[in-house]
Structure 1
Amino acid sequence: MSKLQLSVAVGPYDRMRPLVDGEVQIEGVDPTFLLQEPEEIFFRALRHADYDICELSLSSYSVKTAAGTSAYVAIPVFPSRAFRHTSVYVNVNAGIKKPEDLKGKRIGVPEYQLTANVWVRLFLEEEYGIKASDVTWVRGGYEDPTRVEKVSLNLPKDVELVNAPQGETISGMLEAGEIDALIGPRAPSCFDRGSPNVKYLFDDPQAEAVAWYRKTKLFPIMHTLGIRRTLVEQHPWLPMSVMKAFEKSKAIALRRLTDTSATKVTLPFIETQLRATRELMGDDFWSYGFAANQHTLNRFLTQHYAEGLSSRLLKAADLFHPASLESFSI
């Protein structure tokens, strides 16, 4: 039987390298890997279903799944996870000294439904009492004013979402004080170049994230992995073949990260950071699979539905192909 020739679009992460380099094979598949940034993958996947297998925004995929319009079905592989206490930036002249001061402010977002923004709104509401209806949301591109919301939204009537003025970017508006804060998965360019007008909301975002994890045991999932639904219908063995390969690739990447005789990443102090992470979160801190992530997924989906982003309340199992919810053992 000839192998399936499939396109695979993912980010250029260390956990993908063994797959991309051919060290790990996907059983029955001859892949063509496309290493692209998330914004490109998500736009092309959600608008045009350009890929056979691809990384998907957890939020956008949930919107589509709830509506029954997703061209993809996911497996519980999570290429991207991140604590998002570093995702809130404020103008230093906006009078925002603590999270509660965000009430009544104008907050920029590149897209309202981005996964990172859902997670930020979750902890802002649960920890600090800030509801989505307490602020005015200003949607616009970070650096390109033509950016659009990838999926159509039906938000609650008490949530005010407006577009940035024509030709304006939310990075420029934040630096100029035309918005008070910005929430998003990337740092705006004004922050990266050290503008004196812009800073993190939290003075020590890592400490805030660690304290939040100790309390909630949530390590936010950003992206999942989707397979074209028509392919899965034709080849029911495909989800588990993909699942096994991505698990193996991640395991190799973590093993290499542990070998600090010659550091595999261009950053000092990896050994101490890795040890601290395992002490906080356990050895399998970047877990794939359904059972280990059911709690995190259900918390996200509850928030997603409460915000009016998904048209029905999904459960974690609704996101994934049934064959990927369990595995064999010997």
Structure 2
Amino acid sequence: MTLPLTIACGEYDRTRALFEGSVAIEGCAANFIPLAPEEIFYRAFTGGEFDVAELSLSTYLIQTARGECEYIGIPAFVSRSFRHSAFYVRSDRVGSPSDLVQARVGVPEYQVTAAVWARGILEDEYGVKPRDINWVTGGVEDLGRHEKVPIELPPEIRVETAPRPLAQMLADGEIDAILAPRAPSCFTNRVPNVTRLFEDYRAVEADYFRKTGIFPIMHLIGVRKSAVGVNPWLPGSLLKAFEHARRASLPTLSDATALHVSLPWLIAEAEWTRSVMGPEPWPYGVEANRRTIDVLLRYHFDQGLSCRLLTVDDIFAEGTHDHFRI
């Protein structure tokens, strides 16, 4: 008898084989629901709505540290991104990371994983600590955004709620910078004096990887603990399937017969990426990502988001973090 599963996840190149059914999850009859990450996160963290879900790593860590999360993670990291490109600044005020000291910096939510990484990078690489900045939280383009789950921050962290959309505030000079995964409209519309802090961000991010070996993780896959309790084999089957789907996507990045992505220099980009990051730039599993995971766990605790310092044993299902081999 197969186990029915409802799985909410983004339909990426690395998950497409699962959506199409060319890669199956052993022992399961999966119903895949493609949704935007923000909707998945809200529905998963507030109601545990899905059997398996793509989860914000930061929010997952908050709930896990408190013992409140309905999900347990598997190390299939379906979303990753360098975050030097996520700093948008008033160029008439901010020309280097040190200029962010005492600045007002907008962020959609203090807890978003992109912000955790960016704050950690600011401190480790440039000596700017989270307490050195005045944080302004709210929607980048619209009002009404709030933290996915409640957080209690150390008293030295100053956070205020934005009275207007952050993009408007940056355009009008009411804040000095925005830290966000998506480019704000004031940047894409080329509002004067709004630019990226790191204009040649690809070069900066490549140097960061060469120095640290870190490719920041944003999301992981979570499976309901109640399902694992009844089916202890389930995390291993999920990890195996997500890994097979990831591998199935790799040949398309080097197939010049007909480009699979609408980028004219896709092949050159793939070759350049491998020259910087090696033949497996997007690995799953704990061992291949241990340094990245340990650094994020430290950032999360140091920034006051985790109430205790977590370990890999706390955040991944049993049997998925030892000697990952598929």
TM norm structure 1: 0.96
Q: Which moved more, 1:84-93 or 1:73-82?
A: 84-93
What displacement does 1:35 show? 0.8
Name 2:241's counterpart in structure 1. Answer: 245
CA distance in 2, matches of 1:329, 1:205: 34
CA distance in 2, matches of 1:103, 1:6: 48
What displacement does 1:313 show? 0.3
String of CA shifts for 1:117-174, please: whole Å, max 9, x gaps.
0110111111111111111000011122111111111211111001012xx1111111
CA distance in 1, matches of 2:280, 2:42: 31
Name 1:61's counterpart in structure 2. Answer: 60
What displacement does 1:92 show? 2.7
Name 2:82's counterpart in structure 1. Answer: 83
What displacement does 1:179 show? 0.7
CA distance in 1, matches of 2:245, 2:258: 20
Gapped runs of 5+ residues in structure 2?
none
Q: Which runs of 4+ in 1 moved over 6 A?
A: none
Name 2:120's counterpart in structure 1. Answer: 122
- Shift in alpha-carbon separation, 1:8–1:329, aligned structure 2, 3 A: closer
- Any residues of structure 2 matched to 1:126-145 within 5 Å, and which? 126-145=124-143
Name 1:156's counterpart in structure 2. Answer: 154
Q: Secondary structure at the match of 1:324?
A: coil
> Contact (CA 8 Å) 2:286, 2:324: kept in 1 or not?
no
CA distance in 1, matches of 2:313, 2:222: 14
What displacement does 1:329 show? 6.2
Amino acid at match of 2:11: P
CA distance in 1, matches of 2:265, 2:5: 39
CA distance in 2, matches of 1:309, 1:316: 17
> Contact (CA 8 Å) 2:54, 2:219: kept in 1 or not?
yes
String of CA shifts for 1:189-241, please: whole Å, max 9, x gaps.
22223222311011211111011111111000000100011000010111111
- Shift in alpha-carbon separation, 1:329–1:43, aligned structure 2, 3 A: closer
Name 2:91's counterpart in structure 1. Answer: 92
CA distance in 1, matches of 2:73, 2:256: 34
Name 2:45's counterpart in structure 1. Answer: 46
- Any residues of structure 2 matched to 1:176-255 within 5 Å, and which? 176-255=172-251
Name 2:27's counterpart in structure 1. Answer: 28
Amino acid at match of 1:109: V
Count residues in correspondence.
326
User: Over the residues paired in the alignment, what is the CA RMSD in angstroms?
Assistant: 1.3
Name 1:291's counterpart in structure 2. Answer: 287
Q: Secondary structure at the match of 1:64?
A: helix
CA distance in 1, matches of 2:257, 2:211: 34
CA distance in 2, matches of 1:44, 1:144: 20
Q: Secondary structure at the match of 2:106?
A: strand
Check if 1:308 corresponds to 2:308.
Answer: no
Amino acid at match of 1:48: G
What displacement does 1:309 show? 0.3
- Any residues of structure 2 matched to 1:102-121 within 5 Å, and which? 102-121=100-119
Q: Secondary structure at the match of 2:178?
A: strand
Amino acid at match of 2:32: F
Identity of aligned residues (%): 46
Name 2:166's counterpart in structure 1. Answer: 170
CA distance in 1, matches of 2:187, 2:28: 43
What displacement does 1:103 show? 0.7
CA distance in 2, matches of 1:191, 1:125: 25
Gapped runs of 5+ residues in structure 1?
none
Amino acid at match of 1:212: Y
TM norm structure 2: 0.97
> Contact (CA 8 Å) 2:301, 2:307: kept in 1 or not?
yes
> Contact (CA 8 Å) 2:287, 2:323: kept in 1 or not?
no
Amino acid at match of 1:273: E
